């Protein structure tokens, strides 16, 4: 019984941490229409930043500044934001898919540096020497995990509230206006590039928070945690939940993370031993089918955005009408 509860706590903690990242992506894609192909870079920046800033000094790699935990976490978030800012400044004024390519590139380069710059990131060994906050007081047991879960849920709730407020604020309306019709928004005197940059950086800072919490939870981060598949997983969670809907995004996260862990367990348990090597491939194909299938059959997700300005269907004839106005 305790085993089940403790597993549920573990599962909920990870799902809640990932939910925060999905909410960050929802701000970028769902509300603003920005394609971030390198979610792992923001996530990883938050995790590496937090652990390097907050850890104990290390012989083997840079960092170990031993900053107070809130400062370390904040530093990780700022690092994620800075990275996003650089990419955003360079690409947001160009054709929209440049951002997709550049962010994808950041993720590749990030993993590459994490793996190779041993002096900076500890290389494949990862960042060591990080102690979870309040460990001395709470120990390593179930109690710690339970309190950590509460803290994560509070963080998730705060991010959710912040984004809900943002959605109905004038800024949120502006985001949707720009997403729906950039030319119109521009003619109304809005500066779409700057508004989009703000939304992009804010979304990445939120992903940085998620990464920071993830690193804290495991007290460890390595290149294995910033593999491209994480980007795909987070995207699948958002599209299943319904882009534009924050509550749906959280639900989608729990659903996909549940399905992911369950399929991993089921494959490990029931698949023949020769097939075990291919567990990952099978799971990856499933994630790919979730993404493509949702786009084809239910692009609005299981829980569509309620605040709709105009239907995407209004563009139905765009390929023909383009350039004619």
Binding site for other proteins (CB under 8 A): 33, 35, 37, 90-91, 93-98, 100-102, 104-106, 108-109, 112-113, 115-116, 228, 232, 235, 239, 277-278, 281-282, 284-285, 287-292, 295-296, 299, 312-325
Q: Is the CB of 213 or the CB of 294 nearer to other proteins? A: 294
Q: Where are the alpha helices (DSSP H) in 55-169?
A: 69-91, 96-116, 118-121, 135-138, 142-168
Shortest separation between residue 56's beta carbon and other proteins, angstroms: 27
Least spacing, CB of residue 145 vs other proteins, in Å: 32
| CB 98 to other proteins: min, Å | 7
Residue 153 or 227: the one with the smaller Cβ distance to other proteins is 227
Q: Which residues pair with 16 in a beta bridge?
A: none
Is residue 236 within 8 A of residue 22, CB to CB? The reply is no
DSSP 8-state symbol, 26: I
CA neighbours closer than 13 Å in the CB half-sphere of residue 133: 19
Shortest distance, CB of residue 189 to other proteins, whole angstroms?
Answer: 19
Q: How far is the CB of 297 from other proteins (least distance, A)?
A: 9
CB neighbours of 26 closer than 8 A, spacing ≥ 6? Answer: 163, 203, 238, 243, 244, 245, 246, 249
Q: Which of 209, 229, 225, 228 is nearest to 46 (CA)?
A: 209
Please answer whether residues 26 and 304 qualify as being in contact, where contact means their C-beta atoms are separated by less than 8 angstroms: no
Whose CA is closest to 211, among 34, 65, 79?
79
Rg (CA), the chain: 20
Instruction: Report the nearest approach of other proteins to the CB of residue 325 (Å).
Output: 8
Which lies closer to other proteins via its Cβ, residue 134 or residue 282?
Answer: 282
DSSP secondary structure letter of residue 303: S
For other proteins, give the closer residue by CB, 11 or 284.
Answer: 284
Based on CB atoms, which residue is closest to other proteins, 152 or 239? 239
* Closer residue to other proteins, CB minimum distance, 72 or 294: 294
């Amino acid at each position: 019984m305790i085993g089940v509860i403790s597993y549920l706590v573990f599962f909920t903690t990870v799902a809640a941490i990932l939910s925060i990242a999905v909410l960050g992506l929802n701000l970028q894609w769902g509300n603003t229409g920005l394609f971030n192909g390198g979610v792992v870079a923001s996530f990883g920046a938050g995790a590496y930043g937090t652990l390097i800033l907050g850890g104990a000094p290390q012989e083997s790699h840079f960092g170990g500044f031993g900053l107070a935990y809130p400062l370390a976490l904040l530093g990780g978030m700022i690092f994620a934001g800075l990275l996003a800012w650089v990419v955003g400044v360079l690409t947001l004024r160009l054709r929209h898919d440049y951002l997709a390519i550049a962010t994808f590139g950041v993720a590749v380069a990030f993993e590459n540096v994490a793996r190779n710059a041993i002096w900076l990131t500890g290389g494949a060994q990862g960042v060591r020497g990080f102690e979870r906050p309040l460990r001395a007081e709470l120990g390593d047991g179930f109690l710690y995990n339970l309190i950590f879960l509460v803290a994560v849920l509070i963080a998730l709730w705060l991010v959710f509230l912040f984004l809900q407020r943002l959605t109905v604020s004038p800024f949120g309306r502006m985001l949707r206006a720009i997403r729906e019709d950039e030319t119109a928004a521009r003619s109304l005197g809005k500066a779409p590039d700057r508004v989009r940059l703000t939304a992009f950086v804010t979304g990445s800072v939120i992903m940085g928070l998620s990464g920071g919490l993830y690193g804290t939870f495991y007290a460890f981060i390595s290149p294995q945690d910033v593999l491209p598949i994480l980007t795909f997983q987070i995207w699948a969670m958002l599209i299943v939940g319904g882009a534009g809907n924050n509550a749906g995004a959280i639900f989608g996260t729990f659903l996909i993370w549940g399905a992911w862990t369950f399929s991993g367990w089921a494959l490990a348990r029931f698949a023949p031993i020769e097939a075990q090597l291919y567990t990952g491939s099978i799971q990856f194909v499933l994630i790919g089918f979730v993404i493509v299938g949702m786009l084809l059959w239910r692009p609005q997700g299981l829980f569509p955005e309620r605040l709709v300005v105009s239907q995407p269907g209004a563009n139905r004839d765009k390929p023909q009408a383009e350039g004619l106005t």
